[in-house]
Each structure stands twice: as C-alpha cells, then as structure tokens.
A = this chain, B = another copy of it.
Amino acid sequence: LDQPGLDNAAGEEFLREVLQVLLEEGVRKGTDVTQKVCDWKEPQELRDLLDLELRDEGEGPERLLQRCRDVLRFSVRTGERPVQTIPEGIFGVSGGFGVPGQVWGDPWPPRYTYEVAPVLVLLEQQVLAKLRQLVGWSSGDGIFAPGGSMSNMLAMNVARFRRFPESRSRGSWDLPRLALFASQESHYSILKGAAFLGIGTDNVHLVPTDERGKMIPEELEKEIQRVKAEVGGLHPPGGTTVLGAFDPLVPIAEICARHGLWLHVDAAWGGSALLAPKLRHLLDGIHRWDPPTPEGCDPPRGFGDPPFPRGPPDPPFGLLQRCHGVGAPYLFQKDKFYPPGLDPGDKSPQCGRPPSGLKLWLLWKALGSLGLGSRVERAFAATRYLLEQVKSREGFRLVVEPEFLNICFWFIPPSLRGQEETPEFWDKLGKVAPVLKERMIRGGSLMLGYQPQGSRVNFFRGVVTSPAVTCQDLRFLLDHIQELGQDL
C-alpha cells in the first residue's frame, strides 16, 4: 500500500490512444458513405471474432486497443450516414455537437446531490425550465429519466399518486380498479409500464385511431363511458412511433377536463415540432393541459442528434418529491449547509442517474433555439421530398400521408405490379420487406425498419432526421430498394 496500485501516466496514454481509435474508426468511418453501414456476421462467427471469453489473466494495452477497434468495426455505424441508417439514423452522431455531452456523460458522480454534481444539477434545472417554456408552462417541476419508456412510467406513477396518494404506502391492491387510456398507436412502453407498476395491462384501454393513426375523440368518450372503473389517466402520443401521427389534443384535452383525467402527452418523438414555427400547430392545445393537471412533455428526439435520455414529467412543484422521495439519510442529510431543494436525486425512483441534461444543454448552446428549429424544418422538407419521390415512382406505394418525419411505404416488386389486390396479393407483399431487409443487412448497404400495423402488411418506415441528408441520398434510398427487389 505504499505505492499507488495504478499507473496514471500509462492510463492517460492508453485513454489518448482509445480516443484516437474512436475518432478514426467510429467518427470518421461512421460518416464516410463509402463504408458499409454494418459488417454482418452470423452470431457464432462474431462471437469467435470478438474472442468474448473473460479469463483469469488481463491483457496488455495493445491487445485492448485492438479490441476497441473490433468493437467499433463490427458494430452498426449510425454516424452521419445520411439515409443508410433510417430509422436507426435517428440515433446518429451529429456534427460533433451532441457528442461531448455523451462522451463526457459517464465519468462523473451520479447526480443525486448538488454537492457531488453542482454543474449537472443546475444544467438540468435550466434545460427543464426551457422545455417548460417551450410547452407554454410558467412553472412546474421535472426530472430527466433514462429513456422514454421510463419517462412514461414516471408519468403514470405520478398520475396514480396524485389521484390516490395512499397508493404509495398501501399499494395498488388497496385501490379501486384503475383505468388508463391511450391510443392504439401509442408506444409499447404504456403496456410495459402498466404491467411493471402493478396497474395491469388489462386496465389499459387502447382507443381506436383513424386511418392516419390519430386517436378519434368520440371513441375516447365512448371508451370512458364504457369502462366502469375509476378513471385514471390518459396518455395520447404527440407523434406516434410508426406512423408519426399527432393526436388531436384540443378535443382530447376537453374530454379529459370533463372527466377529471390526468393528461400526459408522450412527446418523445413529436415534441421537437414545438421548436419549428411551421410545425408547432401539430401540438396545438399543449398549453391547455394546465387546468386538468399539467404533466410531462418528453424532450424531443427529432433534432437529428444522439438520443436524449428523455422525459421530464412536469407536475406541480413538489409532487415528484412526495411521490418518489424516501429521503435516504446518507445522501439527503437534513443538516446540509446549502438548501435541500438543490438535491434532485430523491425525486427520481432511482438512485444515481446519468447526466442527461448536459447533452441537450450543449447542443442547445451550439445551435440555439433557431438552429434546432431549422433542423426540424429541414428534416420535414426532406420528408416532403421523399414523399414526392415515393408518389411518382413506379413500384412504390404510400401507406398514409405523413404528418411529420415518418414516411411509410410499400415496395411492390415487378412480379406483383398490376395484379388484382386480393388477400393473396397482400400476403405476398407482406413478405417483400423482410427479404429486402435481409439483403440490405447482409450487404451492409442500408438499415431501414419495417413492420406490419393493424391490418396493413409489412411496410417500410423511413425516418429522415439527420441534417446531413441531401436529395441525392433520398433518391439513393429508393433506387437501392428498387435494385435489391428487381428479381422479386
């Protein structure tokens, strides 16, 4: 114990080399369109290539550097590759500005108290205040959570607590049967959350949507009347996952107010529209949620930057603390020399949390509100361009008119064109996307998501958010699908 058990100089040198590898293999190759988007290997082959096994003896720096290179090489490159990484591209590294917040995200103490994370605590407060302002709230509370699913769960838990404060101590078994309403197109975390929180998936009522994926207010009214349970909360998406649809918030807010429903908008995807003057109308009614009970708006993901840990539920100040706080005496001492309101950790159902606010704060500083808005509008323009292309090309058919940044379409291969649209036709068409996806991945050329939805068979879902996308890239996207599906 007389000497340190670590060599700091060697550690620093190693870190320097690792960062170099990150720049070269990760960032540069990740933004180079001549590189494959992925280098597909069968799982067993990849296991062998990576030499996964964990052994008794450690390895030297050179071997470790090689491992870092391998890890990057065989990972999917969702850098600034314009359209090759749709919709995975929504998670792309963007122009360097979002990256520092990520790169720096971890090597810090968790943010439970001001004393261990003064900067991060203040940054989080600032970003939350800015988001509230964007929504149109003059006050409120909030906390970042690790991801949109967790944010939705926080919202559901706070809604339950607000209505039944005794739920915290006595548990759900002692409450009346609760009911939760969401649209059929809402994110799957609503169901996961209902199961996790002890509400039960049977008690989630999925309200029918129209053809474009928007909740039908009359159906909501009917469903509320039908359900005999104690009414709990409503969870309409502001921007659905697959179709990118926005629920009609004004009539929905009125129904909620009438029935005393807690209203929470899942704006993890569509919230970025608030920054774009031309698109803000999609979230009309967002300021009206105050009267029923103000609640969260998940920070938007449409900036074309790395994923933000999302979700400041935004209830009246103090509710989060009363709902989640237990005041662990080894962290939240009552005899601190600074005001206890500065320690956010106890408001979360977790202990330490990653420094999410930092990413968003740095990006906002870099681009400004105007720059963020321009990104959203550029992405919208790219979607419109792609839409025109889909409409005008033979062999492509639009699933539904896009409202936002999702564009959903079928590729109809030569053998199916001009056929009568019988059940067999649709059955065959539904098998096209999986085949094309396999060809894309094996060739490493493109990553494009597909899924069925309701009675619709598998279709592709393009999500254009990267600011690096050009018209040429969008044409390549369709050209390439055409090329891959020529023999089908």
Contacts and interface: CB of A to CB of B under 8 A. Distances in A.
A420 interface: no
A117 B55 contact: no
B126 A468 contact: no
A350 to B, nearest CB: 4
A259 interface: no
Given A14-B96, A46-B118, A441-B115, A352 B147 contact: yes
B15 A100 contact: yes
Interface in A119-158: 119-120, 122-123, 126-127, 130, 146-150, 153, 157
Interface in A89-128: 91, 93-97, 99-100, 102-110, 114-120, 122-123, 126-127
Given A55-B368, A198-B172, A5 B188 contact: no
Given A95-B6, A177-B173, A366-B59, A242 B330 contact: yes
A189 B53 contact: no
Interface string A307-327: 100000000000000011010
A41 B118 CA distance: 9
Given A75-B117, A367-B58, A452-B329, A173 B170 contact: no
A461 interface: yes
A335 interface: yes
A110 B91 contact: yes
Nearest to A15: B96
User: What's the interface size class on A, roughly?
Assistant: 35 or more
Given A1-B382, A57-B368, A335 B99 contact: no
B171 A4 contact: no
Given A22-B104, A105-B106, A378-B1, A366 B169 contact: no
Contacts of A271: none
B67 A365 contact: yes
A371 B58 contact: yes
A26 interface: yes
A451 B352 contact: no
A116 B453 contact: no
Contact of A54 (B11, B329, B364): B364
Interface string A415-454: 0000000000000000100100110010000010111110
B3 A470 contact: yes
Given A1-B385, A196-B197, A88 B109 contact: yes
Tally of this chain's copies: 2
Interface stretch (A199-207, A216-224, A282-290): A199-207
A8 B79 CA distance: 10
A168 B63 CA distance: 46
Contacts of A88: 109, 116
A258 B333 CA distance: 40
A115 to B, nearest CB: 6
A370 B56 CA distance: 5
A71 B354 CA distance: 15
Contacts of A468: 4-6, 8
A103 B324 contact: no
A78 interface: yes
Contacts of A27: 12, 15
B46 A122 contact: yes
Interface in A43-87: 43, 46-47, 50, 52-59, 63-64, 67-68, 70-72, 74-76, 78-80, 82
Given A102-B106, A350-B147, A434 B189 contact: no
A482 interface: no
B350 A146 contact: yes
Contact of A108 (B63, B78, B367, B474): B78
A306 to B, nearest CB: 6
B1 A109 contact: no
Contact of A64 (B2, B170, B358, B365): B365
A235 interface: no
A64 B367 CA distance: 10
Nearest to A230: B173
B365 A6 contact: no
A237 to B, nearest CB: 14
Contacts of A175: 173
Given A173-B174, A173-B176, 12 more contacts: A2-B470, A2-B471, A6-B468, A53-B126, A54-B126, A54-B368, A59-B366, A64-B362, A110-B307, A171-B177, A171-B194, A195-B349
